[in-house]
Structure formats: structure tokens, C-alpha cells
Chain A
């Protein structure tokens, strides 16, 4: 088994980083289908809680019920948030995945920048999420029946608003995007290792794997 992998790598040592890049771009694409973030609201009269699932493309769960409750403090309807982002997200993810894919098929040094959009995507998502949470908690209708001091709902962890305990958690989609980030970082790392070894015509081993055989040319 190991021998077959080694033979396969001997033919083209860049196959290893390429596999990471391709895997990462597919993982990122697949993450579109899963929620990235979830907020659960817990209150006595809602056994089981109210749940809002945030996908990069849409919202799901008890959205209208949460809107119903939020109107008391003058919060805007949830689906009005991040409309531009939700429209652009699939395009952005598609583009980032394509760039990742492109990276797999070039050996040029500068091409590492192609990895940046895909690697940064989960962090951009979190930053954007925080921005909207902040806006929603601060941009409250002054004519609302209940007036609250401005607040930011938790991005991660637990917060308390009125009789509600809110719990915010990352979901599968986010973890997939983060894993894609990590895979790309690994890919970049191995890409560099392979490149350096080829330039120096040195062998590189990783456990039983021979990434670059001694004396190979770039």
C-alpha cells in the first residue's frame, strides 16, 4: 500500500499538496449545504427553546417567532440582515473554491495568494456575523414598547436578554470551512517543502512516505 503511494508520489511530488487543495475546495463548496451558526433562545414558555440556524445563504428555524419576540424591543426582522452577503456568499465560495482548485494546477511561487480567499472565508464570516449582531442590538427602534440599552448578542457562548438566555454556537458548515482553511495551510506547507527539496535535490520523508526521492529534479 505504502509502496503504491510512494510510486505515485515519485511520478509527481506535487500531488500531495494538490490533494489538499482539491479536498479543501470541495469541502468549502459542500459547507454551503450546512448551517454555520446557531442561536438558541431559552425561556420558560418555550420548552425546547427557539432556534435560528444561519447558513451562508439563508436563515432557518423559528425565525418568524424570534422576529415576533424581537419586535417588542424594536429589533429589525432577521431576514433583512446581511442580504447582500447572503446573495454574494455562494458566488464568493464558488470563486474561492475555484481559486483553490487553480492553485492545485500551478507551481508558481506567487500562486500562494490564490489560497487566501478560501483560507480567510470562515474568519470573514465570523467578522460579518459580529457586525450584524452588533448592528441589530444597537439599531433598535426608539419607539419600541420595551426599551433596552444597546447590546450585542453573543457571537459565541451565552448571553441574557430579558427572560431569554441565548446560546450561540458554531455549526457543521463553519467547521467544514475551517477544516478547508486548515487543509489549504497544510497544502501550502507541503508545496513549499516539495519545492525546496526539488531545488536542493534532497530527499524528504514523512514517516514511511517518501515525498521527494533523493536527486529528483524540479
Chain B
């Protein structure tokens, strides 16, 4: 009741605010509460504030129009955020255990997923998540899967968007770290994982004075099996690259379908070593006037794989550098030094490279690239890779400001580039087929200040062949004075910008309580079709199928058997409001315990937790889910287990005793 009333008041206030602003006066509008004026005055709101508040306000019970998937940065997780409300909807555990979802706290399936990502058996329980990538069908987000990479450990994760849970982590067998990871080809044939810091392939050792011979870049094409919802390493392949520090990548689309573009930042092949009197990396890698845009024909690479022109290294097919250079898989084009983002325009005709140290974005024409390749008018780099002539492939250079990094697109022929040093978003006009309105092509139109140090930028449906052009989100590294201070570690700031009108408008500042979030993608909410409860009672969320150990009501039981000279106790348990059955499990110290729990609820949101103190076990059982835990009862004692989700009035009584006799 209170809720409804409060909502009514807030709505009334906002409506009054708008009406007042539209009139530009201070008279309350008939039918709207005078309280609106009081609120404006008391809170010192400007007319822009009021409009922004209205634009982002989404009442409870109404859903957001878009959903943003943002990397959770060092948390190793993924953030799910509603747009335009900028409400945090979920934190998906990916490379890191996530207690609320019971991800990585005893549940066998999620432990197995996390273990897939261990390096040489060594547990890695964090990730530096960078680039979330939504699965695509014909260049459009299809709302089925999400991929994200871990830069620190060269891993890629698959999240199923039916339940927003992580299903698979693949550890790159030949790369230690990656950066240009999580980019899909237009039908999700492959998820592309680019490298960054060159290293000997396959986690080998080589001294730095053998940099040119032994250090390499590596581009991985993870084949995705949509039916299984898993990356298939057997159909995946890698391409060996020179040690040029390949950075971000983007897949060609429409006219440039079949190609992938990556930039690079160390054609100098600097190896650092300030302590030995060498120039530091920051100077050493920025000496050359030009680095190389990498132009990769993955359709051709597939042909080479079919033709057997690869080597298998650590279980994955690798096209060697020389083969790639000779067989027309790999080409370079010069790009102004140390660029950052590389982004393909919606129609695939243009490739935009952010200058970073150069105030321009450089625009390459795919058509010109094809002509230059066909003409054979190129030289080769020291590794034999064809280098196309800059003038042959360049379409335009647009001066935007300081520190252009990443570019996204709208539906009106404009591009939006983040300017790190300027702390601004630049809107500029594309040319060619995008300029039907007759406005001047390849020109800066407008700059909007953001707060502060913007890195990535995301647009609604912005990486697809048909961006929506409604919102852009600036992902800012610094927030400095934007929020209540919470100590020296300031929140980072996602700023929502309305790009639908003639002028860009800043609408909302959203502090992110975990860092350092990186990239994001924004999908239209109605493309997501998640389960509301699991489709069957006894659902295994990792296998996405009915679990053979699902327990039905009335068939709960405890079985004890001998296996290899020790007792194995297997428990089939149900959870329902407000009891576990069985409620008592009595075993002996040293027993091996296999414990299956099925939540037999069918009601939406009737989730039960299962916590077993002292054994580091914490599960989340969504309606219909079956989970299995397995452990050695190595401590005797009396352990209460209990439901961790306040499920009903008798939630506190939803418990039982796990008795381990000494």
C-alpha cells in the first residue's frame, strides 16, 4: 500500500516538473501536485536535471527497454544493467566464485566450469574481464549467448542467456594473456580471441633477446556450437602473428563478411628494460610513425585448415605465420602509431581505427583494401606479411580531439568516438552510403564532455548491422567529484547519453561498485527470452538438461555403500517451502559424501539456498534445479545446514542436521 502511494507521489512530482519546465515558469500546473515545485526548489534541480530524471525513470513493474551486459573488470564477473534506468539487475559469476548464485561453492557443475579455466591445474579465481560479446545471427544480436574474455589468463567464457549463468570456460592452450577477446563473427561461427603482449607460443620460456625469433602474437578463432551452447576446441584454430602486440579486433560484416580486423601497438618490437638503460615500453612502443592494421581472411584460413596446412600445438590447430602470409590469410595496412579501437561500420564498408596518440580516427575502405590486395601492390614486412600502401586503402581521417579510442554507431550515419584525454564523446559523420542527408561527410559534428577519462563506449545494438541510435553509455575510468566519496578507491562511472535527438544529452551517472569494468554491449530487452523457472523439475543448470540424480518428492533417501575400502554416503534430498527432506543426515568421519538436492518448487522466484557451515558449501537452487555436491567428511561434529534464501514465513525453520560421528 505504502509502496503504491509513494510511487504515485514520485510520478506526480516528475510530471509536474516537466510541465513546469516546458512552460519555463514557476506556476504549478493544474492537476499536478504543488509539491513538485517544492522538490525542484529544495533539491536545487535545473530544468535539464528534471528532464533527465524523467527520461531515465522506469517505475517498478515496468521493464527497461534495453539490457546492457558490462564486463565486471577485476571482479571477473559480468554486470547486467537495465537501460535507461541504469538499475543493476544481476552480477553473473564468470571467472570468480559468486556466492549468491552458489557459483563455485561446492556445486559440482560450477566447480567443474571454474576448473576448466585453471591453468595447468593451478586454480585461478579471478579474471580481468574485458569484452562481452553477444551472439549474433546475420549480424544482429540474437539474445542467446554472451561471451567474455579474461585478459590476465587468456580465457574465454560462455554464458547462456536462458538462465544468465556461465556454462563453459576455455583456457587458451597457447597464450598466457589476451586482450582483443570476445568478438563474434556475424553468425557466431567463431568467437575471436586476440592476443596482446607477445610471448613464446605455448607458454614456453625464451630470453628477450630472442624476441623477434621466439616471441609471437596469436589470434584464436574459437568455433562455437550453438546447438550444444559450447565452444568446440576441435573445430577451432589459431593464426600465428608477428610479435607486434595485436590489440583489439572486430569482425567484418555484410560486405566485409569473412574478414577480421585487429590493430597493433608495438611494431617496434620494443622489449623494455628501463633498469638496463633502455627506453621504457611507453616510449619504445611509440617510436614508429605507423603500426599495422591486421587484415585477416578467416574464410581463407578455414580453407587452409581443411587443406591440412596447419600444425597442432598443445591440441589446437595453428596456421603458422609464414603460411598465413603466403596464402592470403594475413595482410597489413599502416595505421597511425599506437592506435586503440578498431570498429567496423554497420554495413561493413569501413573500418575505423582510433588514434589514441593521434587526434584523428583513420577510416579504411574495405573495397580499397580488396583492390589493393588484388593489384598485388604491396611490400612485405620482415616476417613476409604483405603490407598494403596507406594511401591505397585509406578512405578518410577525421580530426576529433585528444585520445580517440573506441567508436560505436547509430542509425543516422553518425559515429561516436570516446576521447580519453579530452574526456568527451565525439559525434562525427560517416560518408559514402551513410550520407543520404547531404551533410558533410567525415566531419566532427559535436563533442559532449563526460566525467572523466572515458575508455570504452557502448551504443544500443551498436555493434550490429542495424544500430538503434537511442543511447550511448560512456564507461569512465575516473569519477573524481561525481559521487559521495567512499575512500580513495572511487567508484567508476557509467554515464548514459541520449543520442536520439539533434544534440547529445547526458542523462545519468551510474557508479559501479566494482572495477575496472571495461566494455559493454546493449541489446534490446525483448530479444532476451530467459527461463522464468527451469523447464523441468530436476534441471541441471550446467548441462542444461534433466539431471539423472533429480529427486522426486517421496523418493528422498540416503544410501551407504562400500567403495574402494571406504564408506560412500549418497543422499537424494528435496527442498521445498519450508523443509529439506531428509532433515537429518548421520554419517561417520572419513565417509565420502555425494549429496543431490532438488528444488521441487514450480513457483517463480521460489529459490532455496543450501548452506553447510564448516564445509565451505553454499548452493543456490532455483525452482526446478538439481545440484550435486561431493566431499570427504574430514571433520566430525554437528553441522546445521539451512536455507539461505528467505523463502517463506518458516524459512528459519528450513534446516537440518548433518551429524558426523567421530
Contacts and interface: CB of A to CB of B under 8 A. Distances in A.
Interface of A: 64-65, 68, 72, 145
A68 B650 contact: no
Nearest to B537: A64
Contacts of A65: 602-603
Nearest to B653: A145
Contacts of B577: 68
A64 B650 contact: no
Chain A to chain B: the 3 pairs with minimum beta-carbon distance, closest first = A65-B603, A145-B650, A64-B602
Q: Point out which of B577, B603, B653 has the most chain A C-beta atoms below 10 A from its C-beta.
A: B603
Interface in B12-55: none
A72 B601 contact: no
B576 interface: yes
B650 A72 contact: yes
Interface in B588-640: 601-603
Contacts of A68: 576-577, 601, 603
Interface of B: 576-578, 601-603, 648-650, 653
Given A65-B603, A68-B601, 12 more contacts: A64-B602, A65-B602, A68-B576, A68-B577, A68-B603, A72-B578, A72-B648, A72-B649, A72-B650, A145-B578, A145-B650, A145-B653
Contacts of B653: 145
Contacts, number: 14
A141 B309 CA distance: 75
Contacts of A64: 602
14 contacts: A64-B602, A65-B602, A65-B603, A68-B576, A68-B577, A68-B601, A68-B603, A72-B578, A72-B648, A72-B649, A72-B650, A145-B578, A145-B650, A145-B653
Nearest to A45: B605
A186 to B, nearest CB: 45
Nearest to A46: B603
B61 to A, nearest CB: 8
A33 to B, nearest CB: 25
A132 to B, nearest CB: 23
B49 to A, nearest CB: 33
Contacts of A145: 578, 650, 653
Contacts of B649: 72
Nearest to A47: B61
Contacts of B602: 64-65
Nearest to A68: B577
B530 to A, nearest CB: 18
A145 B648 CA distance: 12
A18 B650 CA distance: 61
B259 to A, nearest CB: 49
Q: Point out which of A65, A68, A72, A145 has the most chain B C-beta atoms below 10 A from its C-beta.
A: A68
Nearest to B61: A47
A68 B649 CA distance: 13
Nearest to A162: B649
Nearest to B553: A64
A145 B649 CA distance: 10
A65 B577 CA distance: 10
A72 B649 CA distance: 10
A64 B602 CA distance: 8
A107 B602 CA distance: 56
A64 B577 CA distance: 12
Contacts of B576: 68
B576 to A, nearest CB: 7
Contacts of A72: 578, 648-650
A17 to B, nearest CB: 50
A72 B602 CA distance: 17
Contacts of B650: 72, 145
A184 to B, nearest CB: 42
A164 to B, nearest CB: 13
Nearest to B605: A45
A68 B577 CA distance: 7
B340 to A, nearest CB: 47
B275 to A, nearest CB: 64
A145 B601 CA distance: 19
Contacts of B603: 65, 68
A72 B576 CA distance: 12
Nearest to B648: A72
B261 to A, nearest CB: 48
A72 B648 CA distance: 10
A65 B600 CA distance: 10
A68 B579 CA distance: 11
A68 B574 CA distance: 13
A198 B603 CA distance: 65
B337 to A, nearest CB: 58
B552 to A, nearest CB: 12
A201 to B, nearest CB: 69
